Structure 1
Amino acid sequence: MERRSATTGLRRWSRVAGMVACGLMMLASAPVGQAKPIYPAPDPDPFYAQPADIAEYEPGDVLGTRAMPPLAAFPETDVTLVQFRSTNSMGEPIAAVTTVLTPRDRKPDGPLLSYQHIINGLGAQCSVSRVLYTDDPNLMVREAPAYNFALRRGWSIALPDHLGPHFAYGAAKLGGQITLDGIRAVQRVDELRLRESPVVMAGYSGGGMATAWAAAMAKDYAPELRIAGAAAGGVPMNLVKMLETLGLGAHPVFGLALAAGLGLEREYPDRFPLSEQLNDKGLTVRQSVANSCTNDLLAAGAGRGALDFAKTTSMIDDSEARSVVEENSLELYDGTPNMPIFEWHSPIDGLVPVDAIVNTVGRWCDAGVTVQSLAVPVPDHLTAAVLGLPHVLSWIDARFRGETATGNC
């Protein structure tokens, strides 16, 4: 049914991380102007529109489904869009979407993998549900082999658009809530035959953030879900530490940092007023990237830094802006997972502070969580993602077979 009526290098990425957490906190520190947040253009497809009565639904309620055309990259696989009710960071109801890949020869209540893909973007065309129907090389070259491994084993895969309807790039807690509500919704769609399926979550980097947040929040946010485990790799566990330890300065990929700031402003318009801090050049660039994906974001900020787009050159320590970053830093979140965890990372990752990963995993272990941690012996963020994948798939397969997880805390 339709809805009711119808790796370019270690140094480059480490500087990007610094800019995301540091430069944008500087820009958002004190009210200077009257510019308001800029939101993405409404999706032209009415399926994605939020129903007027969204508040009448509960988190995870299905708002609609749509059967999609088959994809050549995934033979003998059905594709279904599911729109559902979720919750934003302010506790308000929102509509979100997940894409479900189901093998045609699957058994009823077969395994369900919720995979949180990396999404770098501010507009509708950047969502996983859209990118699947493009020739995006990152998805088809890097991700398709792993998806097909899972599909051939009879697993269904849910791919949530975990940035939400405003494409709040950088809002990690939001991604966790959308992930959990997406699992709820998928299991409530009768024709998918997944109601009693064992569930595992997985993701890396930005997708790992959504996964790890979902794992840590599940006990309180979705206590009825029976999730067999979560595999989260390369997770930025503490954005505050990025602020404090990584420097500023112009860089060819500053556009991704600016996009993260704009995304946080969309989610926290009263507490993270980035647009008020932008000069004329910054406002012009903001307008040009309001609906952009990775390549256009990179082009817009190439060779620039926070100081190029700010009205002020001083760093102002604003408690409200800082609190937004803290609220999206998992190391500072009290909740702990109620499921086994597989965590993997590079021990000398230039993108995320490794001590934040170690501290978070240690706290979870102390709380009795079964954690299997793998330090992949490579010197960069993205290579660790690829080399860790065989271990991840083996661990997930064991969870689906019902084996008891072991840890190495």
Structure 2
Amino acid sequence: MTLVTALISAVVCGMGAAPARAAIFPLPDGDPFYSAPPNIGDYQPGDVVRSRTVAATGFPGATAYQLVYRSTNSADAPIAAVTTLLLPPGGGTRPLVSYQPFVNSLGLECAPSHALFDGGLQESPALNVLLGRGWAVAVPDHLGPVSAYGAAKLGGRLTLDGVRAVKRFAPAGLADAPVGLAGYSGGGMATGFAAAMAPEYAPELPIVGAAMGGVPVNIGKLALDVGANPSPLFGLGFAAAVGLEREYPGVMSLDANLNPAGWELRNRIANACTDQIIAAGANKSFTDYFYGGVSDVSDRQIAVLHENSLEIYPGVPRAPIYQWAGANDQVNPWLARDVAGRYCAAGDRVQFEIIPGADHGTAIAAGAAQAFNYLGDRFANLPAPSNC
């Protein structure tokens, strides 16, 4: 995912003036299970609307549930969200890990609740490691019901409300479970926002630790660092711009800046998963699809970028943090370290590790084992390390 560089370049450079037409939203999920009831606003955030058991394909011995729960979008409107819960064999008290995958897609069929079981989610095998430790694992569809790729603050809220839902779901027996959060790259952004939002948004959740790696902490700065160089993974950047357009349709419209090729690409990938998106925009840059440049970003659009950047978000995690990044990460690891330093100065315990020689793609495996061990120590009530 050297792509994140191209990703943010497209997000910033593709934003224009007031919208001329509506954003391109995904086709609805054909499964009525996902639909919001007419009275979704009557539920409280994290309340379970409906549930079902599903075949735990790829997770031997596990029991799998899917929960529809109430959350809130970036316009403060009630929405229905989904999380998938995996329970290992056995019973009794067990910890809960909410794992946020890096989901780089616009189609609803690409969401974790589908991709966990059809081979589409690259991180699925790692979840068996967590289940093997006897931990319950929740995997939220943290892009939400319109697959708003790039809307990281929404991802944090959906993560926290998903944990609430799992703990309120009586058949799981997790009401008293300690909670850990984990994720990498885009999943790390959702994880980081969940950790930072929790003290104010969900103070009742017993979050004992969060582990996150390769986190882009300021998408606007990343765009300025990267510029407009062509990338084989530029399509993901374009997709992130579309995702923000979906979540903030009155502010982040692409219509005024898309050239004809841009209109065609947006229509073509509106329901696409990661591989299709990458192929569609391979080796392109924003000038292939947009008029204008970085200077065309309005104050309102900058405010949205800030709203979805952990460096700007004022909240500070209460739970201890393990964070890692590759020394050669295309996503600025030193900026992420500065944000960790702000958390340290506010009193949080943070262990920040730089993986020598690793870039954004290779750092995930190098840090994941340490991340899981870190959460295991938090569940065991061991003192949290810190290199603040």
With the shorter chain as reference, the TM-score category is over 0.9
Contact 2:116 2:124 in 1 (8 A): no
Alignment partner of 1:345: what SS?
Answer: strand
Q: CA deviation at 1:68?
A: 0.3
Contact 1:28 1:272 in 2 (8 A): yes
Residue 334 (structure 2) aligned to one of 339, 347, 355: 355
In 2: Cα distance, 1:396 partner to 1:206 partner: 20
Residue 111 (structure 2) aligned to one of 108, 127, 130: 127
Matched letter for residue 209 of structure 1: M
Return closer, same or farther for 1:43/1:317 CA change in 2, 3 Å cut-off: closer
Residue 14 (structure 2) aligned to one of 11, 22, 27: 27
Q: Does 1:237 align with 2:217?
A: yes
Contact 2:325 2:353 in 1 (8 A): yes
Return closer, same or farther for 1:303/1:348 CA change in 2, 3 Å cut-off: closer
Give the corresponding residue for 1:345. Answer: 325
In 1: Cα distance, 2:298 partner to 2:359 partner: 32
Matched letter for residue 334 of structure 2: D
Q: Does 1:181 align with 2:161?
A: yes
In 1: Cα distance, 2:84 partner to 2:139 partner: 5
Give the corresponding residue for 2:285. Answer: 305
Deviations 1:275-333 (CA, angstroms, capped at 9, x unpaired): 33212221111111001011110111122221111244684242111111111110111
In 1: Cα distance, 2:165 partner to 2:294 partner: 46
Q: TM-score, normalised by structure 2?
A: 0.96
Matched letter for residue 34 of structure 1: A
Matched letter for residue 258 of structure 2: L
Alignment partner of 2:134: what SS?
Answer: coil
Matched letter for residue 152 of structure 1: G
Return closer, same or farther for 1:276/1:223 CA change in 2, 3 Å cut-off: same
Q: Does 1:104 align with 2:89?
A: yes
Aligned-pair RMSD on alpha carbons?
1.5
Contact 1:234 1:344 in 2 (8 A): yes
Matched letter for residue 310 of structure 1: F
Alignment partner of 2:227: what SS?
Answer: coil
Contact 2:68 2:80 in 1 (8 A): yes
In 2: Cα distance, 1:314 partner to 1:330 partner: 21
Q: CA deviation at 1:380?
A: 0.5
Contact 2:16 2:256 in 1 (8 A): no
Return closer, same or farther for 1:19/1:383 CA change in 2, 3 Å cut-off: closer
Contact 1:218 1:337 in 2 (8 A): yes
Structure 2: runs of 5+ lacking an equivalent:
none
Give the corresponding residue for 1:74. Answer: 59
Deviations 1:235-293 (CA, angstroms, capped at 9, x unpaired): 10111211221110333221101100000000011111113321222111111100101
Residue 27 (structure 2) aligned to one of 22, 27, 41: 41
Alignment partner of 2:244: what SS?
Answer: helix
Q: CA deviation at 1:19?
A: 3.3
Residue 371 (structure 2) aligned to one of 392, 396, 404: 392
Matched letter for residue 8 of structure 2: A
Question: Percent same amino acid at aligned positions?
Answer: 43
Give the corresponding residue for 1:254. Answer: 234
Matched letter for residue 132 of structure 2: R
Q: Does 1:271 align with 2:246?
A: no
Deviations 1:155-177 (CA, angstroms, capped at 9, x unpaired): 11000000000100000000000
Q: TM-score, normalised by structure 1?
A: 0.92
Matched letter for residue 48 of structure 1: Y
In 1: Cα distance, 2:116 partner to 2:271 partner: 18
Give the corresponding residue for 1:114. Answer: 98
Deviations 1:50-69 (CA, angstroms, capped at 9, x unpaired): 11111111110110111001
4+ aligned runs moved over 4 Å, structure 1: none
Give the corresponding residue for 1:10. Answer: none
Matched letter for residue 375 of structure 1: I
Alignment partner of 1:372: what SS?
Answer: strand
Q: CA deviation at 1:219?
A: 0.5
User: Mean alpha-carbon deviation: is it higher for 317-326 or for 55-64?
Assistant: 317-326
User: Mean alpha-carbon deviation: is it higher for 241-250 or for 257-266?
Assistant: 241-250
Residue 273 (structure 2) aligned to one of 293, 301, 308: 293
Contact 1:17 1:246 in 2 (8 A): no
Q: CA deviation at 1:124?
A: 1.2
Q: Does 1:89 align with 2:89?
A: no
Contact 1:345 1:375 in 2 (8 A): yes
Alignment partner of 1:332: what SS?
Answer: coil
Deviations 1:219-241 (CA, angstroms, capped at 9, x unpaired): 01101111111111111011121
